[in-house]
Structure 1
Amino acid sequence: MNIMISDKMKNSDFHKFFVDELKDLYWAENALLKELPKMEKAATSKELAESFAKHHEETKEHISRLEKVFESLGEKAEGIKCEAMEGILKEGKSIIEDTAKDTFTRDAGLVLAAQKVEHYEIATYGTLKVFASHMGHKEAERLLAETLDNEKATNGTLTGLAERFINQKAVSE
């Protein structure tokens, strides 16, 4: 759904900042898409691996939704390197390198790394949703809210896995 954005709005510093942050998030989601299969492969527990596989598929949907957000704003979907996500993903790689294969210590570390990603995404989607609301970008607001809800659910799944068994098994190793 394309809406007409006034030239004044489109040229405002706030709108430009909003679009730049969308580009940052678009880069972040695409970078995460490449890393999730590696996290899935590194996971010890079947449940955590399945969670990463599910979120890989959901991340494809997040990217598609962001493309619709750009379209609704009359903007080209493109990414700008996200330093925050790059750092979080780099830290996740080091957790895999620094923990022994087939251990719940690794799984606990993977949950930690994944929740850092989720918390970054929750903060970003939440803020951009509010920005969209204030500028009257209803379609962008709706799409960002949908992904925000999904990110919160993923974070809850990770917490559940950690609290149900991963952390306790890691402590016992």
Structure 2
Amino acid sequence: MELPFIPSEDHPADAVHDVGWPSEARAAVGFAAVLLGVSLAVEAGNSSLNAVHALLWCGLSFLLFAILLPPRVEAVPGRLTVRGPITRRTVRTDRLTSVRWCDGVAQRVILCDTTGTRAEVDPRVFFANPPLWHRLEADARVSAARGTLVHGGAELDLLALRLDRETARTVFRISGLD
């Protein structure tokens, strides 16, 4: 039986989440568990398994999990929160000062607000979650209207264009028109 969603201060009813995060988190757990299981089985098969080796393999498996676990992204009107394994960054998206898009091997959208808080988000999160992107874009437009968004209007337009292009490709691919 599924428990009903109860809004709280940390998770308001109008929050938009990265819908792909739970499956990516399960995959991170799975890969780490497979590494641990295979490594312990090989050690046991070679009769070289001891407490030190088991502890080292557990540590390596945990490190793999920490590397593979993606940050969890959540947006509510006026705020975007990025939770990593250790850190939690909340940016006021209605008071942004800059939006930068680092395009390259490790693509990142870097958001900075008037308090100096900075958060980095992989743009693929926005491509996979249009409601998350629309929440950010609407709040960024509020920042621009208030005059706090000094840098990043062009980056926002490029991201919106790319998101629209990816959405159109997906629609064409699903409908068989590509």
Question: TM-score scaled to structure 1, two decimals?
Answer: 0.33
Larger Rg: 2
Which gives a bigger RCO, structure 1 or 2 (Cα 8 Å, sep 6+)?
1
Structure with higher helix content: 1
